[in-house]
A = this chain, B = another copy of it.
């Protein structure tokens, strides 16, 4: 990945709950904001060109690659692998494999995106499955959290790989020399938790990572010195969605109470700037764009129901990861010897 050639990002224009309305508007936003990015729009060329949100400015940084198929949001991964190899999702990933793009972004269905990415790009040496890594706001700024649903269970050595990959991602993107890694558990003491987290913790202590030990759910958002939180995909997915649920619940409750009476409506008017600033700081759209880590290429998953602002943020994640050469960093780190669970106690 040369830094002299401007990066190209392949965009699955047809993916997501909404499709072109969102993806094309986001592409126009990125085109305006970042002079250094080229974009390859993958989808139905006629529909794209005819769409009102199709970028008006033709500055040579936008190309279209025509495809005839679309992956449905509820389509089984196996069906995609067999029947949807001319879909916008598939062709976006292929563009990365073939070097026509250095990253791809899709708001399409997660299972299909994962399966297709594994099939087309292959995993990095030593990695068996990708992990989904997203950024969430925290008292210390933000935290990278993985796995958020790629693996329904994970063995200790896989969790260690997640920690290694997350650590490299933060080093590159946030420019931190020694990012701090925590392992999600139900208590901070070494005796707490199930066998898998106990074993993982022992392995993590043997790595060169800046491992701070077990962290609890609340620490994700409240512990100031924490950069990466590692857990298996079942726990991560449930916890992240629970967090999204309560945040939405709090927002709705606040809105209801501000609509409660004429007095509270006046208070709402006075409070608008405060509420807007607060919303911006916790807005999940700001944090849209999860990385599928462990692949031989950059694949960014946007929320299916993202709007253009959120989808543009996902494209920006791709841009940052290309600029920082994240795949090279992870590959290099994985070539280091990883700690192993000893089969039995042997003298050193």
Chain A residues close to B by CB (< 8 Å) = 74, 76, 137-139, 149, 152-153, 184-186, 189, 191, 193-194, 216-222, 231, 233-235, 237-250, 252-254, 257-258, 260, 263-264, 266-268, 270-271, 273-275, 277-278, 281-282
Contacts and interface: CB of A to CB of B under 8 A. Distances in A.
Given A153-B194, A267-B270, A222 B235 contact: no
Contact of A277 (B186, B219, B260, B268): B260
A274 B249 contact: no
B282 A253 contact: yes
B219 A245 contact: yes
A222 to B, nearest CB: 5
A139 B218 contact: no
A253 B274 CA distance: 10
B253 A281 contact: yes
Contact of A254 (B153, B268, B278): B278
Contact of A244 (B137, B218, B231): B218
Q: Which 3 A-B pairs have the closest CB atoms?
A: A217-B241, A218-B245, A217-B242
Contact of A267 (B189, B194, B267, B281): B267
Given A184-B238, A186-B234, A238-B235, A258 B245 contact: no
A217 B240 contact: yes
B245 A152 contact: no
B249 A250 contact: no
- Total copies of this chain within the assembly: 2
Contact of A245 (B191, B221, B268): B221
Contacts of A149: 186
A278 B257 contact: yes
Given A139-B249, A139-B252, A218-B248, 4 more contacts: A152-B186, A218-B244, A218-B245, A254-B278
Given A152-B186, A267-B267, A271-B271, A238 B239 contact: yes
Contact of A274 (B194, B247, B258): B258
Contacts of A271: 258, 264, 267-268, 270-271
Nearest to A219: B245
Given A152-B193, A186-B238, A282-B253, A245 B274 contact: no
A302 to B, nearest CB: 17
A217 B194 contact: no
